[in-house]
Structure 1
Amino acid sequence: MAINPKKASVMSLIGIFSAILLLNSCTGGPKEEGVWIPNPKDSSELGKRNHFIPEAEIKEFRADFNIDRDTLKRLMPNLFIPNSEAFNKKILLEILKDPKCVGIRIYYGAAKDKSGARDEFRLILVGVDANGQDLLIDNGSAVATKAPPGGRGGAEYGQCDPPCFAPNP
């Protein structure tokens, strides 16, 4: 039985076109920029802890905090304690992508505005390893733009509620 060359060419083109479609469909289309976050085995006390808190307890804790914050503000009118601070995903990923990082430590800090008159409570985020040691972000990362050469640091300048003073450029 003879094969029609014209029909064979059409079948070949259909096969090639189908293969191209199949390969393109496997890529899932355009990809967003991403980062791989390792999840190291952690048998430390931190790794065993369940951090979940039900919504009702969140509301209760926040209400109690508001009472304490308002009491402190009456005693110290220049004191600024934000209700919350929000940090962007980019800085959280920068902390978490360290292969030794098993969690995030939150330090409480105090800052003053440019006049030095208003004390502010602020949150500072750093990574933590399985031994409980701080993991700092090295200068040269995409987010450590303010670090001096060879310097290291963490995350600060969250978005406060109510708004806190603007960071120095």
Structure 2
Amino acid sequence: MSIDIYKKDFETARDTIKQRIPDIMIPDYEIFNRASIVEYLQDSTVVGLKFYHGIKPGNEKQRALRLMIVGVDKNGKNVYLKNKKDALGAQSGSDDGGLEYGQCNPPCEIQP
């Protein structure tokens, strides 16, 4: 099926969800920068990427649906980024973890 069909069906579902749960912001899309993805792919134990959905905690009207990315090893176990203090660490939301800071609609800045 075409990605355009998937997107259209999601837009319809998103509008319904927003009406039922108005305190959760649901983005149109999320973008993760190249450096963050490459960081995972350079780890020889990572054989793939796992994508999770989650709700970022916040006050009323500030909770947001988020897409999170973690590496996965050959046994299906999560592989987290470790001790990241730079911009990539900011994307992981902590010193150790996956990538969570990719949301770009509403607009966010994309790092090269």
**TM-score category, normalised to shorter length:** 0.7 to 0.9
**Partner in structure 2 of residue 136 of structure 1:** 80
Residue among 26, 30, 33 paired with 1:88:
33
In the TM superposition, what is the alpha-carbon distance from 1:64 to its structure 2 partner? 0.4
**C-alpha separation in 2, matches of 1:127 and 1:93:** 11
Question: For residues 63 and 139 of structure 1, do their structure 2 counterparts lie closer, same or farther at Cα, with a shift above 3 Å needed?
Answer: same
Aligned with 2:89: secondary structure?
coil
**Count of aligned residue pairs for this structure pair:** 104
For the pair shown, the structure with the greater C-alpha radius of gyration is 1
Taking structure 2 as the reference length, what is the TM-score of the superposition?
A: 0.81
Question: What residue ranges of structure 1 are gaps of 5+ in the alignment?
Answer: 1-55
In the TM superposition, what is the alpha-carbon distance from 1:163 to its structure 2 partner? 3.2
In the TM superposition, what is the alpha-carbon distance from 1:111 to its structure 2 partner? 1.1
**Partner in structure 1 of residue 98 of structure 2:** 154
Taking structure 1 as the reference length, what is the TM-score of the superposition?
A: 0.56
Question: For residues 80 and 90 of structure 1, do their structure 2 counterparts lie closer, same or farther at Cα, with a shift above 3 Å needed?
Answer: same
In the TM superposition, what is the alpha-carbon distance from 1:141 to its structure 2 partner? 6.7
Identity %: 38
Which one has more relative contact order, counting CA pairs under 8 Å at least 6 apart? 2
In the TM superposition, what is the alpha-carbon distance from 1:140 to its structure 2 partner? 4.7
Question: For residues 76 and 140 of structure 1, do their structure 2 counterparts lie closer, same or farther at Cα, with a shift above 3 Å needed?
Answer: closer
After TM superposition, where is structure 1 displaced by more than 3 Å over at least 4 residues in a row?
Answer: none
**C-alpha separation in 2, matches of 1:72 and 1:132:** 31
Read off the aligned partner of 1:159 and give its amino acid letter. Q
Aligned with 2:100: secondary structure?
coil
